[in-house]
Amino acid sequence: MTAFRYTLQDDDLPRLGLVVLQVDETIEQDFRHLLPPHIARLHVTRVPSGAELTPDSIADMERALPDAARLLPDTKPLDVVGYACTSGTTLIGADRVRELVTSVVRTRTVTDPLTAALAACQSRGLARLGIVSPYIASVAEPIRKAFESGGVAVPDMLSFGEQVEVRVARIAPQSIAEAARALARRSKLDGIFLSCTNLRTLDILAPLTQELGLPVLSSNQCLAAHMAALTKVTVDL
């Protein structure tokens, strides 16, 4: 058999890496809407994560993160790698996440939902944020502290008290919207943050923003926007 001749062709699209929790059923679908293929090359790897998100399972994830990140394509450096876990970043620490990823991946920069959300608050001038979290207090409360350490006051917060990830991915968007409305009714806020990459929030962000008259942001939206900004990709998020 004679080998058929071919040519090689590359493109100059930004190369994005995304480290997703094994149990996350939401963020990949969101990212394919937020950052479509004609804008950037998106490469995804999965990090082992427990069926329940707890401080112990997040500690296990920290140990597994380098091996997961190492599976991203290494044909040439990535423009940015996103670690797609808001609570994980909060408990592991953004600097530690960056250290773990860059120890095994050639990339220009690393980001995460917490860093991205703080950047969004700064760019929009949001000083008082309400947070909706799906998780139990031991996972949700550190998120409040992380925002406050980043210079954003969190005068009010609501949580669904869930820890089983298969249930988090199935919390009805209407329930999330009702929690956001409750925060807006009872507290003076500049904006609302829907925390967790596994929550189905994408379709309710714009309607809630219009209804409540204040920005409603999500982990996935903020992370996609920050990764785009870091690679100088123009998107309207």
Q: 137 and 226 in contact (C-beta within 8 Å)? A: no
Quote the pLDDT of residue 237: 62
List where CATH 3.40.50.12500 sits in the chain: 15-113+223-230
Q: Which CATH number fits domain 15-113+223-230: 3.30.460.10, 3.40.50.12500, 3.40.190.10, 3.30.70.260?
A: 3.40.50.12500
Nearest Cα neighbor of 97 from 110, 86, 79, 109 is 110
Q: How many CB atoms lie within 10 A of CB 209?
A: 16
pLDDT per residue, tens digit, the chain (237 aa), is 889 999 999 888 999 999 999 999 999 999 999 999 999 999 999 999 888 778 888 889 999 999 999 999 999 999 999 999 999 999 999 999 999 999 999 999 999 999 999 999 999 999 999 999 999 898 889 999 999 999 999 999 999 999 888 999 999 999 999 999 999 999 999 999 999 999 999 999 999 999 999 999 999 999 999 999 999 877 766
- In eight-state DSSP terms, residue 32 is H
Quote the pLDDT of residue 68: 97
Quote the pLDDT of residue 236: 67
Phi and psi torsions of 85, nearest 5° = -150, 115
The rounded distance, in Å, linking the Cα atoms of 140 and 119 is 20
The rounded distance, in Å, linking the Cα atoms of 32 and 95 is 27
List where CATH 3.40.50.1860 sits in the chain: 114-219
The rounded distance, in Å, linking the Cα atoms of 117 and 237 is 12
Quote the pLDDT of residue 56: 86
Q: Yes or no: is domain 114-219 CATH 3.40.50.1860? A: yes
- In eight-state DSSP terms, residue 57 is H
